[in-house]
Structure 1
Amino acid sequence: MSASSSPPSRLRTAARRLLLPTGLGLAFVAQAVGALLPSVPLLIAATAAGLAADLALHRWQGGMAAALGKLQATVSVRQVVRDLLLVTALLRIEEQDYEERYLALVCGLLVFYALHFACQAVATAVRRSRTLPLVTRNIDASALRLSAAPPALVMRRAGLRLLTFGLPSSVGLLATAVTGSGRWAAAGIAVSAAFAAVANGVLLVRLLPGRRPVAPEEALEWFEAWLAEYQPTVGMYFSGGTSSAYQANMWLEPLARLEGRPIIVLRERFMVKKIASTDIPIVCLPKVADLMRLEHSTLKMLIHPSNSGKTSQVLRIPTIKHAFVNHGESDKLSSCNPYAKAYDEVWVAGPAARERYALADVGVDDKDVREIGRPQLDVIQPYAGAPTGPYTTVLYAPTWEGWDGNPGNTSVVEAGENIVRALLADPGVRLLYKPHPLTGSVDPRAGAANVRIQQMIRAASAKRAAEHAGDRPGPAAAQELARRTAELDRLTTSSFRDSADDAERMMLQSVPEPGRAAAVTAATTAWEAAYWASFPAWEHLIVTDARPNVYACFNVADLLISDVSSVISDYLASEKPYAVANTSGLPEQEFRDAFPTVRAGAVLSPDAAGIPALLESVRRPEKDTYAEARAELKLHLLGPSDPPSVVRFNDAARALGAAAEAHREGMAVRALAVIPKQRETGTELESERVTG
C-alpha cells in the first residue's frame, strides 16, 4: 500500500502551522485600521488579539517565531510597531494639541525599550560568566561556587520577557484611548519600565565578584584535583545528537557493575541531562583541549557505544585503551562500519558478529574482536510457551529508514500498514506498536505511514472499548500507576524539569546520591508492573515514550515482528517466536541467505499474507518449526550463557585495562631512555657551537 501522504493531509497540516502567524498579521492590519479611523473598539480587539497570538506563538510554535525573526519581524519589532500604532491612535483620537503629553509617552516607551535591550545584554554577560568549561553530574561541585540560575523569563526568554513586561504599557495606552486620560498610559509605561529595571537589577547582582562562579581555569584545576582523588579506571565515552541518548543509556547498568571506578565522559552539554539516572560520575568536556586532561589521569579504558565525529578526538589520548561495544548488532552494513578499526578492540555479542566483520573485510583484525555477549539482556524473561490467556500479544517494533535510502531498512513504508491491518483483523490479537524514535527523520513517507498506523490502532482500540464497556481495571490501578510514576520521576527527572539548558544549575542539583541507581531499578520494575496492570488485556497500545523500554515490551509479548535490526538479536535472548518483514525486494531464500538473523524466524512479504499462519504457529507450539533454530541462533548471535555475559564483559574490561597499564609503563621506560640521548645530543651541539 502506498505510504505517501495525501495532498489534503499536507494542506491541513500547513494550514494549522500558518494559523497563528496569519492571525498575528491580520491583527496588525486591524490595529492599523483602528488607529487611523480611529475606532477604539476595533483598536482594543485588534491589540488584544495580536498580543494573544504573539504569546501563543512563543508558547506553541517556537520554530515559526524563529522563522519570523529571520525575516526581521522579531518580537521586538512587532512590539514596537504595536506600541507606535497605539500612540498613533491616541493622536488621531485627540482633537486638541497634546504633542507634549504624547512626546512624554513616546519617551517613556523609549526608556522601557532601552531597559529591555540592556537586560538582554546583561543576561548575555551573566550566561557567559556562568558557562564553565565542564559540566558534571553525580559529583560534589560545591567548590565551584555555583548558585541557582536566575528565572528563565529574565535570563533566557527575551521575546516572552518583552511581551510580558510590555503588557502594562499596552493596557495603559488602550485605557487612555477609552477614557481620554493620559494618566493610564503613563502609569502602564512606568510599570513596564519598572519591571525591566528590576530584571536588570536581578541580573547585575549576578555579575558581582562574590556571586560569580570560579574562573574557567580554576574549574579545570578543580576537575584535575577531583580526578586525582576519585582515580577512575574504566569509563564510557559518548557524543551524539538529542535523539541518540538511548545508545548510551543501554550501557549504564553494565558499566556500573564493572570492577573499578567508572566514569562517563560526554562532549555535548545538552546530553548531561539526557543520560538516565545513574550513580556513575558524569563529566562533559566540550573542548578538545580540556578533554586531553584525561591523558594524565588514572583512566585506563573507555567503551564506545557509537561512532561520532568527535570520537577521533579522544582516540588521540595514548594512555587510554578504547573498545567499541556498539548500541546493537544486526546484519545491516552499519554494524560493520570501517571506523571500528580505529579502536583497540571491538567487543561483540557472539560468533555471528565476529564472522560479520571477517566477511565485511573493513580492516578489523580478528585478534581485536572479543565476544562478550550482551550484558544488558539479563532483564529479558525466557520463553514460557504458548499464550495462556484469550489474547496473543504481538509486538510490532520496526526500525527506522536509515541514511542510505535502502527500501529494505524499514517495513513501515511498504508493509507497515498491511501488517497492522492483518493483526487488527484477528480478534484474539493484542497489538503493541513501538516504532523507532528516528522514524520519519530521513524519509517523510515513513513519518506519514507511522502517523496512519497509529490512527488505525487508535480506531481499533476505540472499537474494542465499545465492545468491552466496563471491562477495565478499576481506579485503584490508575492510582497505583500515578504513584509509581511520581516515584520514578522523582528519582530520575526531578533535577532536570526545567527545559532551560542551564548546565551550572544541573551541576548544583546533581550531587552524588549513593544507592540511587538501585532505587531507580526497583522503582522501574514496580512502575512496569503498574503500567501493564493499568490496561485491560484486550487494549492495543502505542508505545512511543521512553518508558516502557523495548525490553519491557519483550517480556509481555508472545511474538515479535520487526525488520533486520538489533531488535531481533536482543529478542532472541528470550527464544520466543519472531518474524521479519522482507521489503528488500529479494526472494525469501535470498533474503534469508543475505541476513543470517532471519533464519530462525518467519519471513513476511509486504502484503502481510503470512500473518494468520504466523499467529497459528504461536498459539499452537507444535506448529512452530523454528524453536530449535532459535536456540541455535541465540547461541550464534549472543554467545554462551556460561559464563554469563556480565562476567565476560568484566573480564574484557579488566584485560584491556591491564593492556593500557602495560602500555603506560612501556611509554615511561621509552621516555627514560630518550631523555639521556636528548641531553647528550644537546651537549654535543653546544660543544660544536662553542668550538665553532
Structure 2
Amino acid sequence: MRDEPGATAVPLPLPRRRLPRPPGPSRRARPLRFGLPGRRTAVKLLVLGVLAAAFAAQALGALLPHVPLLLAASAGSLAAEGALYRWQRGMVSLFAKSHADVTVRHVLRDLLLVVGLLRLGEQHREGAYAPLVAGLLVFYALHWAIQAVSVLVRRARTLPVVTRNIDASALRLTPAPPVLLRRPGHRLAVFGLPATAGLLVTAATDAPVYGAGGLALSLALALTGLGALLLRLLPGRGPAGEQEVLDWFEAWLTRYRPTVGLYFSGGASSAYQANMWLEPLARLDGRPVIVLRERHMVQRIAATDIPVVCLPKVSTLMRLEHSTLRVLLHPSNSGKTSQVLRIPTIKHAFVNHGESDKLSSCNPYAKAYDEVWVAGPAARERYALAEVGVEDKDVVEIGRPQLDAVRPYAGPPAPGAFTTVLYAPTWEGWDGNPGNTSVVEAGENLVRALLADPDVRLLYKPHPLTGSVDPRARAADLRIRELVRAANRERGGPRPDPSAATALARRAAELDRLTAAGFRSAADQAERMLRQPAPEAGRAAAVRRAEAAWEEAYWASLPEWEHQVVTDARPPLYACFNRADLLISDVSSVISDFLASGKPYAVANTSTLAEDVFRKSFPTVAAATVLTPDASGVAALLEAVRRPERDELAGERAALALRLLGPAEPSSQERFAGAVRNLCEAAVRHRARMAERLATELPVPGPRREPARSSAPSAAPSAAPGPHGHD
C-alpha cells in the first residue's frame, strides 16, 4: 500500500476481517477545537475580502457616478489580481470552482467601467462614449473568436498516439502556440489591460481619446493572436491527421518489432508503480516498450531509453494484436486493464508494484492474468491461503530486481555520529482500518520520542496519499512536520559550505537536461513528442551517473544534525534506505524492501491486536521490533541499533528476507529475465497453435469451382460433395 518508488506489497496469509475499533471513547466523539483561522486561511480571506470590497466600491462609483471612487476601486481590483497571481496561486482554482474565474472578473470590471462612462455621459457627452462601448464589445467578440480557433488548433494537435523516445518528425509536429493564446483567462487579462487602463484614464479626464487608444491597442493584440492561430489551420501547416498518425504508428511497430512491454494505467500519483519497473525492463534482452493509456502519464514516466507509447482509445490499443509484442507486464490493476487482456496474442503477467501483508496484495483480479510474478515463497503461500482463484502453477517467483539499489548493512553508526532513523508510515487506506497507518494514533508519539534523543537524526517520509481519505491523518501529518521544524530550530548547528548548494544546483540542472525535464511552460504533448526523439546511445548510463551524483550532492548540501521531511520525488525511498540506520514503518511493502539491507526495523502496532497475534497475522513483522502507540520501546530500540550485540533479531531478519525476497542466487534480475523469456516462448507457441488451428478450420480462399456436369440431359447429378462440403 506504500505509494513510494521501490515499494513492495506481500499478500495476506489469511483473509482479514476489519479490525474492531479500540476500546474507549469514540474517535469521532473527540471535542472539536475552535480558534482563530490559520495564517494561510487568513491570507486567503484577506485576498477575497479585498477583491469583494474593490468590486463593491467600483459598482458604487459607477452608479453614483463618483469618478475618484471608481478609479480607486478599479486600480485596487487590478492590484489585487496581480497579488493573487503572484503570491496566491492556489486561490486561482478556488475562484474558478466558484465560477468567478479571471474571465468573469475581467468582464465585470470592464462592465462597471462602461456603466460609469455611460452615467457620466448622461451628464456630459454620451455620444462620445458610445464608440468606446462599441469598441469594447468588438474586443470581446475577438476574444471569443480566439477561443474558438484555439479549440480547433488544440484538437488538430491532439494526436491519437502520444510517444516518447521515438522519432516523430514524420508527423510534421511544430512548437505549440504561445500559452496566452490557449488560456482564455490569462489572454483576456493581458490583451484587455490596455483597454481597461484607457477607460480608467478616460473616466478620470473626460477625454475619450485615451479610452480609444487603449482599445485600439487591445484590438491590435487580439487581431494578431487570432491571425497567428488561423495560420496554423491552413492546409499543410498542421500536424498529420488521425489516419496518417495511425499508419505511422503501425509502421513503427513493424520496424521496431517489440517483444515485451509494460502496461500501465492510473492517476498522476501512481506513476511510481510503473517507474519502479523501468530499470529491470531496460536490462532485458529484446525490444521493450511501455504502453500507457492516459496522456498525462507520458511525462510522469521517469527517465528511460525505452520507447513509450500512449494509446488512449481502445481501437488504437487493439492494433497491438497484430504486432510482434508477446508479453505485457502489469504493475497494477485498473479499470482499463480489462481492455488489453482481450488481446489473445499477448501473454499477461501481473508483477505488482510491491507486496505487503495487506489484503490488497491478494486481489482476486490477479486470476485474470496468465501468470502472477511474486518476490519469494511467502507470497506464493499467501496466494494459496487467500483462495482468490490464482493457481499455484501460475505463480512465478522472481525476487525483487529493483532492490539492487539498496546497500547492505555496513555496521552500526560510528561513535559520535548521529543515528539516522527513517520514519516512513503508509497512508490510511480506503477501509478505515485503524491498523493501516500509524500516523493518526502513534505518529506524534514516535516522532517526539525520536526527537528527544540528542543523537538521533530523523528522516520523515510520509506516504504521498496521507490524509487523502481521513482528515485526521492529514492533520497529524502536519503536526509531525511542525514538530520536526521546531526541533531543528532548537537544535541548531553549523550549515554546510555554500558551495554544497551550488554543487547541488549544478547536479540538478545536469539531471534535468538528461531527463528532458526542461520543457518550456507552453509546450503541449505534440511539442514534447517533437522534443523527445529516439535517445542517443549511452544516455541511460549517463542518467544513472547523474542521479547518483545528485543524491550525493543532495545529502552533502544538508547539515548532518538537521532532521528532514522528505516529500519530493527525489531523493527516492531507496536513497533514504541507504542513509538510514533504522526504519520505523507500518505493515506495508516498505518493510519488505528494507529487509534487503539487513538493517534493523520496527513496526508500529495500531491494530488493537496483541503483539503475538500481530506477529502471526503479518509475517513481515516476524523480524521486527513491535512498537506500541505510546512509543515506549523507542529508547531500547535505539540502543540495540547502536550496540549490535543487543540486536537479537539479526538472524531472523536474514531468514525472513530469504522467505520474502527469495534467494540471492541466481540474482533477481536473472530470474526476472528468465520468467520473461519463458512467457515469451509460451506466447510464440500459443500463436503457432492458433495459426495452425485457423489454417485447418477455415477454407482456403480462392475462386469457387462449380462441379462438372454431364452434357446429356438425362444424366443424374453427381452424388459427390462439392469443394465446400455440400452438394
Output the TM-score relative to the length of structure 1.
0.95
CA apart distance, 1:38: 3.3
Report what 1:112 is aligned to: 139
Report what 2:711 is aligned to: none
What SS does structure 1 have at the residue aligned with 2:599?
coil
Give the direction of change, closer, same or farther, for the CA distance of 1:625–1:347 in structure 2 (3 Å limit).
same
- Is 2:532 the counterpart of 1:510? yes
CA apart distance, 1:66: 5.1
Alignment partner of 1:472 out of 470, 495, 516:
495
Report what 1:639 is aligned to: 662
- Is 2:53 the counterpart of 1:26? yes
Q: Deviations over 1:84-103 (max 9, x none)?
A: 22123234445754122111
Distance between the aligned counterparts of 1:652 and 1:42, measured in 2? 76
Report what 1:172 is aligned to: 198
**Paired AA for residue 263 in structure 1:** V
Distance between the aligned counterparts of 1:222 and 1:95, measured in 2? 65
- 1:203-242 superposed matches below 5 A: 203-242=229-268
What SS does structure 1 have at the residue aligned with 2:422?
strand
- Quick one: higher RCO (CA 8 Å, sep 6+), 1 or 2? 2
Distance between the aligned counterparts of 2:428 and 2:467, measured in 1? 7
Report what 1:397 is aligned to: 424
**Paired AA for residue 286 in structure 1:** P
Distance between the aligned counterparts of 1:243 and 1:663, measured in 2? 36
Q: Deviations over 1:613-633 (max 9, x none)?
A: 000000011110100000000
Q: Deviations over 1:569-610 (max 9, x none)?
A: 000000100000001110111000000000101000111111
Report what 1:340 is aligned to: 366
Report what 2:9 is aligned to: none
- 1:592-671 superposed matches below 5 A: 592-671=615-694
Distance between the aligned counterparts of 1:171 and 1:378, measured in 2? 62
Distance between the aligned counterparts of 2:87 and 2:430, measured in 1? 30
- Is 2:162 the counterpart of 1:135? yes
Q: Deviations over 1:374-421 (max 9, x none)?
A: 001001111011111421000000011111111111101110000000
Distance between the aligned counterparts of 1:117 and 1:579, measured in 2? 61
CA apart distance, 1:458: 0.7
CA apart distance, 1:25: 1.8
What SS does structure 2 have at the residue aligned with 1:211?
coil
- 1:260-271 superposed matches below 5 A: 260-271=286-297
**Paired AA for residue 530 in structure 2:** L
**570-579 or 74-83, which deviates more:** 74-83
Give the direction of change, closer, same or farther, for the CA distance of 1:587–1:282 in structure 2 (3 Å limit).
same
Give the direction of change, closer, same or farther, for the CA distance of 1:9–1:504 in structure 2 (3 Å limit).
farther
Distance between the aligned counterparts of 1:98 and 1:683, measured in 2? 96
What SS does structure 2 have at the residue aligned with 1:232?
coil
Residues 495, 506 of structure 1: 8 Å contact kept: no
Q: Percent identity?
A: 66
Report what 1:432 is aligned to: 459
Alignment partner of 1:288 out of 304, 308, 314:
314
Distance between the aligned counterparts of 1:483 and 1:83, measured in 2? 47
Residues 55, 160 of structure 1: 8 Å contact kept: no
**Paired AA for residue 438 in structure 2:** S
What RMSD, in angstroms, separates the aligned Cα atoms of the two structures? 2.5
Distance between the aligned counterparts of 1:312 and 1:61, measured in 2? 42
CA apart distance, 1:44: 2.2
- 1:320-335 superposed matches below 5 A: 320-335=346-361
**Paired AA for residue 613 in structure 2:** E
Distance between the aligned counterparts of 1:614 and 1:588, measured in 2? 16
Report what 2:180 is aligned to: 153
Extract unaligned runs of 5+ from structure 1: none
Alignment partner of 2:344 out of 318, 332, 340:
318
What SS does structure 2 have at the residue aligned with 1:229?
helix
Report what 1:248 is aligned to: 274
**Paired AA for residue 644 in structure 2:** P
Q: Larger Cα Rg: Structure 1 or Structure 2?
A: 2
- Is 2:474 the counterpart of 1:447? yes
CA apart distance, 1:670: 0.6
Distance between the aligned counterparts of 1:248 and 1:503, measured in 2? 20
Greater helix fraction, Structure 1 or Structure 2: 1
Distance between the aligned counterparts of 1:493 and 1:435, measured in 2? 28
**283-292 or 12-21, which deviates more:** 12-21
Give the direction of change, closer, same or farther, for the CA distance of 1:10–1:587 in structure 2 (3 Å limit).
farther
CA apart distance, 1:535: 1.5
- 1:676-691 superposed matches below 5 A: 676=699
Give the direction of change, closer, same or farther, for the CA distance of 1:489–1:677 in structure 2 (3 Å limit).
closer
**Paired AA for residue 233 in structure 1:** T
Q: Deviations over 1:23-44 (max 9, x none)?
A: 2222110111222333333222
**Paired AA for residue 362 in structure 1:** V
Distance between the aligned counterparts of 2:541 and 2:499, measured in 1? 27
Q: Deviations over 1:474-504 (max 9, x none)?
A: 112111111111111211243545376x211
Give the direction of change, closer, same or farther, for the CA distance of 1:70–1:533 in structure 2 (3 Å limit).
closer
Distance between the aligned counterparts of 1:542 and 1:630, measured in 2? 27
What SS does structure 1 have at the residue aligned with 2:699?
helix
- Is 2:698 the counterpart of 1:675? yes
CA apart distance, 1:48: 2.1
**Paired AA for residue 393 in structure 1:** T
CA apart distance, 1:59: 6.2
Residues 495, 509 of structure 1: 8 Å contact kept: no
Give the direction of change, closer, same or farther, for the CA distance of 1:73–1:479 in structure 2 (3 Å limit).
closer
**179-188 or 68-77, which deviates more:** 68-77
- Is 2:563 the counterpart of 1:537? no
**Paired AA for residue 288 in structure 1:** V
Q: Deviations over 1:254-274 (max 9, x none)?
A: 000011000000000000000
Give the direction of change, closer, same or farther, for the CA distance of 1:72–1:472 in structure 2 (3 Å limit).
closer
Extract unaligned runs of 5+ from structure 2: 1-24, 708-720
Report what 1:485 is aligned to: 508
Distance between the aligned counterparts of 2:91 and 2:204, measured in 1? 34
CA apart distance, 1:687: 7.9
Residues 269, 284 of structure 1: 8 Å contact kept: yes
Give the direction of change, closer, same or farther, for the CA distance of 1:337–1:497 in structure 2 (3 Å limit).
farther
**Paired AA for residue 683 in structure 2:** A
Distance between the aligned counterparts of 2:41 and 2:211, measured in 1? 39
Distance between the aligned counterparts of 2:43 and 2:615, measured in 1? 45
Give the direction of change, closer, same or farther, for the CA distance of 1:337–1:499 in structure 2 (3 Å limit).
farther
What SS does structure 2 have at the residue aligned with 1:236?
strand
Give the direction of change, closer, same or farther, for the CA distance of 1:603–1:87 in structure 2 (3 Å limit).
same
Distance between the aligned counterparts of 1:541 and 1:138, measured in 2? 36
- Is 2:383 the counterpart of 1:357? yes
Alignment partner of 1:457 out of 484, 500, 513:
484
Residues 234, 302 of structure 1: 8 Å contact kept: yes
- 1:405-416 superposed matches below 5 A: 405-416=432-443
Q: Between Structure 1 and Structure 2, how many residues are aligned?
A: 685
Residues 177, 522 of structure 2: 8 Å contact kept: no
Alignment partner of 1:39 out of 66, 73, 78:
66
Distance between the aligned counterparts of 2:652 and 2:683, measured in 1? 40
Distance between the aligned counterparts of 2:422 and 2:240, measured in 1? 52
Q: Deviations over 1:265-302 (max 9, x none)?
A: 00000000000110000000000000000000000101
What SS does structure 2 have at the residue aligned with 1:8?
coil
Distance between the aligned counterparts of 2:692 and 2:705, measured in 1? 21
Residues 179, 522 of structure 2: 8 Å contact kept: no
CA apart distance, 1:194: 1.1
